[in-house]
Amino acid sequence: MHVRRLTSTDAMAYAKRLRHRPFLALLDSAMKHPMLGRYSVVTCDPFGLFQVQDGRAFWNGAAVEGDPLSVLRKLLALYPQDTREDLPPFQGGAVGFITYEFGSVLEEVPRLRDGDDPPQLQLGFYDVAIAVDHVQGRAWLISTGWPEQDEAERSDRARSRADQFETWLGSPDRVPAPHEARPCDGGFLWHSNFDPGSYRAAVRQVTEYILAGDIFQANIAQRFRASCPAAFDPLAFYERLRAVNAAPFAAFLDCDGFAITSSSPERFLSAKGGRVEARPIKGTAPRSRDPAEDARALHALLASEKDRAENVMIVDLLRNDMSRVCRPHSVEVPVLCGAESYASVHHLVSAVTGVLAPGKDAIHLLAACFPGGSVTGAPKVRAMQIIAEIERAARGVYCGAIGYIGFDGTMDTNIAIRTVTFQGGQATIHSGGGVTLLSDPEAEYQETLTKVQRIFAAFEAVPGERTA
């Protein structure tokens, strides 16, 4: 491994310098926090691409036989790497996304399709990364030398690739034309696959399933879609999004034909040194500019029987999922229904931790817990079946995960909420909420609008009445 110190800690500036390199990825602690928002990663130009399409694994476009996650484990094992404790946790590895529909590979649930769907899973294998520590105020260029297997050749490659990245970083930005520089050029007409009445009816349908004993809760989302103006710039949009809706688990991915932006506040799973954590969010209240009203909204959220019950059910689901791969009695809940505040909402957030059992790794953890219970419901499989029946639209990256699995076995991923996908000249956003027996249909509908309002603000659009 070859490591160089960098002078700037501006992850967004690095991403803009590398924007024309293939498969740019920015894992962005746009909302900085000493624990949850400490690190950012910028990388590009992977030496390999792992994808899952229709349940089949592909490596650099060639089909590979076997269970997709087992194939992924074998590929990562080709590039073993020890962790350097003096550096940020990502030191080279696989970065990308897992769609919600990957759940149909793991469980007996319907897979919905939505035209030109993205791969169910896509991870670039990156040998070079820029890692930023916002607490220390330091940044490093880390070059691993992979995929060279000979030690001397790997050392040579590590240095030459570091030189290459420094050349790219030192090149002046291409100055966009004025219309390119704007993230949005004109208004956006958003359409939803639900109108207000049909969404309220969907909430009532879920409560009927709860009364029938099928589930305890389910997360129901509506999908918003709009056409993008010509020359729309997803990276410029992301820069605006991170300014108006900063989040600790934000991301931008350029995926060769489509792009993903996320301002997620929610960690799905992290793993390092055998210790694992999930931080499910359940319970939301809109914020107010009036400090007194804002405080009352937070107090009401903390006192809400419905929101607390919703959170506790998902905590129990995660405890069960994590216990499948963790040491007996190691799964704990150090935080239950704690409060976290973001630009437009307050959330109830819990933390579930554990220690991986011998022979288990981050990929076993992913298989045991995906998709996250906070975006499905409980019991998970039946909730996912009901979601497919009611939503009738593929979620894509929304409610999947974005993040990394390092060559050293570390992992950190978000729950891909507050996420926009740009493909085929269209922007797609989903927003949903957990439905329990105590849910009020109108309140649930309004919650979906509250969660998405900052994303619409980044588009410089104010949503009005939705049309199907």
Question: Using CA atoms, how far apart are residues 4 and 25, in angstroms rounded to an integer?
Answer: 20
- Active-site residue 74, yes or no? no
Look at the block and give the residue holding tokens 């390119």: 180
Question: Using CA atoms, how far apart are residues 186 and 210, in angstroms rounded to an integer?
Answer: 44
Is the bond preceding 379 in cis, omega lying within 30 degrees of 0? yes
Catalytic residue (choose from 16, 101, 239, 266):
266
- Active-site residue 16, yes or no? no
CB 422 within 8 A of CB 257: no
Residues 6+ apart with CB under 8 A from 420: 237, 241, 260, 261, 262, 427, 428, 429, 455
Look at the block and give the residue holding tokens 């659009």: 461
CB 6 within 8 A of CB 133: no
Look at the block and give the residue holding tokens 């906070």: 374
| DSSP secondary structure, 56-76, as one string | EEEETTEEE-S-HHHHHHHHH
Cα-Cα-Cα-Cα dihedral sign, residues 379, 385, 389, 392: positive
CB 143 within 8 A of CB 160: no
Catalytic residue (choose from 16, 101, 239, 282):
282
Question: Using CA atoms, how far apart are residues 250 and 33, in angstroms rounded to an integer?
Answer: 13
Residues 6+ apart with CB under 8 A from 92: 1, 79, 81, 126, 127, 128, 129, 142, 143, 144, 146, 406, 407
Give CB contacts under 8 A, 24+ apart, made by 2-5. Answer: 2/142, 2/143, 2/145, 2/155, 2/158, 2/159, 2/162, 3/84, 3/87, 3/140, 3/141, 3/142, 3/143, 4/140, 4/141, 4/143, 4/162, 4/166, 5/138, 5/139, 5/140, 5/141
Burial 393-415 (b: 16+ CB within 10 A, else e): bbbbbbbbbbbbbbbbbbbbbbb
CB 128 within 8 A of CB 162: yes
Residues 6+ apart with CB under 8 A from 62: none
Task: Please identify every residue annotated as catalytic.
Answer: 266, 282
